Chain A
């Protein structure tokens, strides 16, 4: 077992143990007719505030507040622990008022995006390594432009009327011009590339002999560009899932403050 796997197992066991402990305590207090809802509420609010503080920690890199990696570990397991606390707090009942429904939606989306984002953060990096060279995200559009320029140069050497030029105008230029096939890459589909390479191969049947070499080069460039598109799509996902997770976190915090004030007022 790797050190990471060990850490994961330990974290999960701790979450399960904490959940069992909390459930047992709740049952004991319930049996004694002592209400635990308020306690669960405050606990949940504190956990959510702590989770949100991770963003602040990330900005305060210059202060000795513990490593970001340690914070993320706490974030993940406290984040996961919010689910059982949430259940205990709501007693498993669905909310009624629109504000509570919105709050539930925020919480669920934040929770699910967090869990999903974490999963993607573990799955995507090894895949990035296996497709094309390592490319810095900000430089990818530049690389794409370079490949596009290269193809334009190659095409400029062909005759005005040629099967390659036709193919280029119809299929290749739009493909080479900018990052493409984002969703296909997200879905891990290769269909677009297979179709494009088929088209290039088909053109080969009508190409002059001296044009075959050019077609080979184009095939190579199609593949290079596809790798870059893949890198671009995957790195975009790695960056942009946080655009769901974080804004809704702050919506959730605002709702929590509101919800807690109302609860305090009427208790």
Chain B
């Protein structure tokens, strides 16, 4: 059967200015206007690749939006993939983050109705990977980019009640969440009629990468130090009650440290393939050496280990927001004039941390402005309920990245494949995982997307089709903007993304003008639109399969067996 060819999707098929219901094209005049802005004025256009010129980035990865006073621009906790630059007007950053902030989160679930769920029984396609290209070609609504905006009716009164800082023309915000693949750190509300440049993270990344002057990169780094560092430090319970002077002092003495490459998944992938990754990992703090600093992990994962005869024993790992070295610096310092690290801290893949010199902490502790943890480091890290060989396996193979890792207890799994069947029913008859994968003891890590804390799959996606859901942070693929380039599949260190040929409802393969099949990336979406959570776990009769948040090793059924 011959099918009419369709055009092969490419990056920028859907300019940012057209995405999610927006439709204000970026004209040539707009590009010129953007190039006059302080942030873009000094960029050296020559360094850009021919295929990705600066002007095209601005035309396709940028949109200019007008907000009215009271409009919520970003919400604390949302997963964002764009950064903002204020062209004119002003905005307020809400600093007080108790109980979710002034803008309460509406949990918007895109769940099917009960009938729609039931109808999957007979409405699912008989053919594999069927896509409705007609519908897909049209508007591509992404909830985080929806034009429907939240609005605060009395913005000044609301902001008076909570601490806030003002952002003015020429200032950036949201770059942290966009580039660091972390949730938005604060809510930002327009306080005036404002014009904003919103840029996709891919565009911002390319500008920072190709601009030989490095002006924008320097600006973004400074913004981080000034703004995000303060709010980040305040998330550490130890510093939560610090006065503003002490906090300012603390910020000025902190150092930002990174390990591993920032915007490529490759080193991470390589690390995973080495047998003895523990010895290859960059060391952040060495066991037995003078505890000269405390480290706060900002993004990535760090391994805590100690020497054991001729090797190293993994004791645990640290996720973003956790600190290393506190007990040594504060507690160890009392009897011993030279406190030493009791463990080694090493970086697993890309890691970003804040280094606080021990002298600063000691000074604060001496003045009794802060009080440290009440025990030794040994007590702090050695309580993982997970057996050591499994812990090593999870850390060595980087599975600790997973927030919804599919763990199968092979001692209880009867290989009935009810999980695979349930997955297929939930995904138009296309199972989104393979019940197979690396094994450690009785545990198998099945080949399913783990919804990583730091999803490296997102790094090279040229269209932003692979994104984090605004509400729950799940890593999802937008079928209508996926161009089948396989970057995500290649970047995923766990081979959890599969490229598939897509077909029409009658089963014919969809091809481009040259007759080459159109491919699309597919993976587990944790049954976001289904009732009762992940169908695989729901369907397992023997309590063998669980989706485990390995960012939190405690209270986890299947892995503590």
A residues neighboring B (CB under 8 Å): 2-4, 58-65, 67-69, 71-72, 121-122, 124-126, 128-129, 133-134, 136-137, 235, 238-239
On whether the beta carbons of B415 and A68 are closer than 8 Å, the reply is no
CA–CA, A136 and B537, complex, Å: 19
Of B118, B442, B541, which is within 8 A of A68 by CB?
B541
Asked if residues B117 and A63 are in contact (CB atoms below 8 Å), the reply is yes
B311 within 8 A of A: no
Ranked nearest first, the 8 interchain pairs of A and B with the lowest CB-CB distance are A61-B422, A64-B531, A64-B532, A72-B541, A62-B117, A126-B411, A68-B541, A69-B543
CB contacts under 8 Å to A, within B538-561, are: 538-544, 557, 561
Are A125 and B541 closer than 8 Å at their CB atoms?
no
The yes or no answer to B234 lying at the interface (CB within 8 A) is no
B410 interfacial contact with A, CB 8 Å? yes
Given contacts A68-B541, A69-B542, contact A129 B442 (CB under 8 A): yes
- Cβ distance B259 to chain A, nearest Cβ, rounded Å: 34
Report chain A residues within 8 Å CB of B444. Answer: 134
* B442–A63 CB distance below 8 A: no
For A135, the closest partner residue in chain B by CB is B436
Residues on B with beta carbons closer than 8 Å to the beta carbon of A129: 410-411, 439, 442
With A121-B414, A125-B412, A134-B444 as contacts: A62 and B543 at CB distance below 8 Å: no
Beyond A69-B540, A72-B542, A136-B436, is A62–B120 a contact (Cβ under 8 Å)? Answer: yes
Residue contacts A-B, CB under 8 angstroms, 28 given: A58-B418, A60-B118, A61-B538, A62-B120, A62-B425, A62-B426, A62-B535, A63-B114, A65-B532, A67-B537, A67-B539, A67-B540, A68-B541, A69-B540, A69-B541, A69-B543, A72-B542, A124-B414, A125-B410, A125-B411, A125-B544, A128-B410, A128-B415, A129-B442, A134-B410, A136-B435, A238-B415, A238-B416
A61 touches B118 (CB 8 A): no
Q: How far is the CB of B407 from chain A (nearest CB, A)?
A: 14
Query: Which one, B121, B415, B532, B541, contacts A71 given CB within 8 A?
Result: B541
Nearest B residue to A62, CB-CB: B117
Task: Give every chain A residue within 8 A of B532 (Cβ-Cβ).
Answer: 63-65, 67
Closest CB in chain B relative to A61 CB, distance in Å: 4
**Within 8 Å CB of A68, what residues of B?**
418, 538-541
Q: Within the complex, what minimum Cβ distance (angstroms) separates B547 from chain A?
A: 12
Q: Which residue of B lies closest to A129 (CB)?
A: B410
Contacts of B412 in A (CB 8 A): 122, 125
The residue on A at minimum CB distance from B545 is A69
CA–CA, A254 to B313, complex, Å? 61
Q: Which residue of B lies closest to A71 (CB)?
A: B541
When C-beta atoms are compared, the residue in chain A nearest to B410 turns out to be: A129
Contact between B561 and A2, CB atoms less than 8 A apart = yes
The digit string for B515-545, where 1 denotes a CB below 8 A from any CB of A, is 0000000000000001110010111111110
- Interface of chain A: mostly helix, strand, loop or mixed: helix
For chain B, the count of residues having a C-beta within 8 Å of the partner chain is: 37
| Nearest-Cβ distance from residue B176 to partner chain A, whole angstroms | 37
A245 to B357, CA, bound (A): 68
Q: A67 to B538, Cβ gap below 8 A?
A: yes
Interfacial residues, chain B to chain A (CB-CB below 8 A): 114, 117-118, 120-121, 410-416, 418, 421-422, 425-426, 434-436, 439, 442, 444, 530-532, 535, 537-544, 557, 561
CA distance A2 to B544 in the complex (A): 14
Q: Is the CB of B436 within 8 A of A134?
A: yes
Which of A69, A72, A126, A239: most chain B Cβ within 10 A?
A: A69
Contact A62 B531 (CB under 8 A): yes
Q: Which of A3, A60, A125, A134 contacts B439 (CB 8 A)?
A: A134
With A62-B117, A129-B411 known, 10 other A-B pairs at CB within 8 A are A4-B543, A62-B120, A62-B531, A64-B114, A64-B531, A122-B412, A124-B414, A125-B544, A136-B435, A238-B414
- Chain B residues near A64: list those with CB within 8 A: 114, 531-532
CA distance A235 to B415 in the complex (A): 7
Q: Tell me, rounded to whole Å, the shortest Cβ–Cβ distance linking A125 to chain B.
A: 5
**Chain A: minimal CB distance from B429 (Å):** 12
Q: How far is the CB of B141 from chain A (nearest CB, A)?
A: 24
The answer to whether B541 and A126 touch across the interface, beta carbons within 8 angstroms, is no
Chain B residues near A128: list those with CB within 8 A: 410, 415
Q: Which residues of the partner chain B approach A238 to less than 8 Å between Cβ atoms?
A: 414-416
With both beta carbons as reference points, the residue of chain B lying nearest to A69 in the complex is identified as: B543
Q: Does A61 contact B410, Cβ atoms closer than 8 Å?
A: no
Alpha-carbon separation in the docked complex, A63 to B422 (Å): 11
Whether A63 pairs with B542 at a CB distance below 8 angstroms is no
Nearest CB on B from A73, distance (A): 9
Chain A neighbourhood of B114, CB < 8 A: 63-64
Q: Cα distance A239–B413 when bound, in Å?
A: 12
Write out the residue numbers on chain A whose beta carbons fall within 8 Å of the beta carbon of B434: 136
Q: How far is the CA of A134 from the CA of B442 in the complex (A)?
A: 11
B411 in contact with A61 (CB, 8 Å)? no
A29 to B451 Cα, complex, angstroms: 60
> B538: which A residues are within 8 A, CB to CB?
61, 67-68
Whether A125 and B414, one on each chain, are in contact in the complex, defined by CB atoms closer than 8 angstroms, is yes
Which chain B residues lie closer than 8 Å to A126 at the CB level?
Answer: 410-411, 442
